[in-house]
Chains A and B, each alone.
Chain A
Amino acid sequence: MMRSAILVAVMSVVTILLRFLPFIVFRKKTPKYIAYLGKVLPPAIIGMLVVFCLKDITPLAHPFGIPELIAAACVVGLQIWKRNALVSILAGTAVYMALVQLVF
């Protein structure tokens, strides 16, 4: 158990270091290039996370990613219409749960 405690501590410390590193390295003054990355990365990384979440879709085998496609379209449509993230997320998740439990 001591060994497991050390491993948990290692995971914790390394994760903390990764999160703090940019703040420590660029504490005094943020180089222009890093400031530029800080500005353009958020939309790019959110795009990356969207693809990451959808990575287990099987386009060539049942259910062909159809539940994901329909639910994702609901989220996008509702977000454009209502501009309320909570509504889009809850409705999109409900649609997805209904599709995977009742239809596919």
Chain B
Amino acid sequence: MKMQTVKQAFIRSVPVMAGYIVLGVGFGILLRDAGYGALWSAAMSVFIFAGSMQYVGVGLLAGGASVFTVAVTTVMVNARHLFYSISMIEPYKNAGKYKPYMIFALTDETYSLLCDGKTPEGVEPELYRFLVSLFNHSYWIAGCVIGSLLGEVLPFSTAGIEFSMTALFIASFTEQWLTSKDHIPALVGLLGTFISLLAFGREHFLIPAMLLITVALTLLRGREEAAV
């Protein structure tokens, strides 16, 4: 059962591997160019473990931002994690000793793998979720450190490999669509974000999108709860 759990968790995490290694290498290169070597890359990937924040963080470090600016920027960039945590309160409630680490490691990608609350047959659910989080974290650390050490010396063109992240989210979206009868929340997410993108532009649309989605889902609550 333990082996089965490790195996299933690994299989589940494989789609994230390519994306994390590529994004991590990109980060490592960027950070090295800003004058911070592999130890910094390792420290940031171990202790922050938030891809977009680490990219933004390179600019903050290089630009000598104040502690206050860094704190506020982190809240803005990572506010969406509040939403992930809210939806994982229920699935993570029996996680016990694994729980603190699982909450710490709840990235966009880990969330997209675990947010349906389902686990494969024949696995220990808590250990499975913990291992998926841990595997993803290790790919991220590996990518960031490799990026710092190797730089741009890659034997083949990886142009376009960043699409693996997009593909991961599209596959999760499709799978949720197929397994759910109620498509309203999914449509609210797509449309709300799209409207927000048109209204606020690509630099500033994420927080308005989250607010719009929350308001829309709140207004639809009576209807949605009647539907279940």
Residues of A bordering B, CB below 8 Å: 3-4, 6-12, 14-16, 18-23, 26, 30, 33-56, 67-68, 71-72, 75-76, 79-80, 83, 85-86, 88-90, 92-93, 96-97, 99-101
Contact = CB atoms under 8 A, between A and B. Distances in A.
9 contacts: A7-B57, A8-B47, A20-B104, A33-B218, A37-B83, A42-B87, A42-B111, A44-B217, A52-B206
A30 B89 contact: yes
A86 B84 CA distance: 22
Contacts of B169: 46, 49-50, 53
Given A4-B40, A15-B81, A48 B11 contact: no
The DSSP consensus for interface residues of chain B is helix
| Chain A interface, >50% SS class | helix
Interface of B: 11, 14-15, 18, 36, 40, 43-44, 47-50, 53-54, 57, 60-61, 64-65, 67, 70-71, 74-75, 78-90, 92, 99, 103-104, 106, 108, 111-112, 115-116, 157-161, 163-178, 180, 183-190, 192-194, 197, 202, 205-206, 209-210, 213-214, 217-218, 221, 224-225
Contacts of B57: 7-8, 11
A45 B187 CA distance: 10
Give me the 7 closest cross-chain CB pairs, A-B, nearest first. A47-B189, A44-B189, A97-B160, A53-B166, A96-B163, A51-B193, A22-B85
Contacts, number: 258
B67 A10 contact: yes
Given A22-B89, A44-B185, A16 B190 contact: no
A21 B90 CA distance: 15
Contacts of B193: 47-48, 51-52
B160 A19 contact: no
Given A37-B214, A89-B15, A93-B167, A48 B189 contact: yes
B163 A93 contact: yes
Nearest to B213: A44
